[in-house]
Amino acid sequence: MLRARMTGSPPSAVVTGASRGIGRAVALRFARAGYLVWALARSAADLESLHGEEPERVRPLVVDGADEQALRAACKTILQEGVPSVLVNNAGIAVSATLAKTAMEDFDRTMAVNLRAPFVLCQELVPGMEARRSGRVINISSTAGLRGFRYTAAYSASKHALVGLTRSLALELATTGVTVNAVCPGWVDTDMVARAAERINQTTGRSVEQARQVLERMHPIGRFVRPEEVAEVCFFLASEGAGAITGATYVIDGGELA
């Protein structure tokens, strides 16, 4: 565990998109390991459900990742109680459409949530980590941040950019005790998979279950990645033992890109 520098205080982690899927699994993994977790998401109801699982460890903050000023205000709230040990930039949205049918509003929101929000959170929270000479930044990218996929130009561009941000910040912070790494999952069994299966159902006539099977077969291991498996990698990257790992991309895709 990355130790807090304040005597008697537990280490803290900030997790965005914490109300469901990967973010929820990450928030619970850190909370159950003794971290105080600042859980950021848009849905108050889902955050309340998360808080109910770990009421002593989870502090929910309702915030829209596309709202820069709301993000900066949330960071001020967090910093009032100390500099976090870990920042997990997980919140993300995906738009599936051809180039011609991708609305600029969708493009702009995708970039705002998937790229600008991590940048803003790093601007606000990393200086304190630098001053303390200890911290971990973990950006949840995607296999779409390492290769192209049809009909996801905006999403893939945002995730490629997030990997670029990760690598640049890793070098900028290399001598400060702060590491910056990216985790790149493949198809994870979350709401995003459910929506993809529904789109396949609507466009091909396959059943939702058949669509899920098509997506599962993209992984050589024959199944989706579990959110908890992504959370375990994040927890490792936050550990003291990962102090020499920075600027790396950890692919969790069941062999899809092998």
Question: Which residues are tagged catalytic?
Answer: 155
21: left (phi over 0), alpha (psi -120 to 50) or beta: left
* Alpha-helix runs per DSSP H in the chain: 21-32, 44-53, 68-79, 104-111, 117-132, 153-172, 191-204, 208-216, 227-237
Residue closest to 72 by CA, chosen among 109, 12, 14, 120: 120
* Tokens standing for residue 201: 């159902």
**Tally of CB atoms within 10 A around 248:** 15
Between CA 253 and CA 192 the distance in angstroms is 15
Residue closest to 120 by CA, chosen among 162, 151, 160: 162
Between CA 170 and CA 152 the distance in angstroms is 27
| Buried residues in 3-32 as b, exposed as e (16+ CB within 10 A) | ebeeeeebbbbbbbbbbbbbbbbbbbbbbe
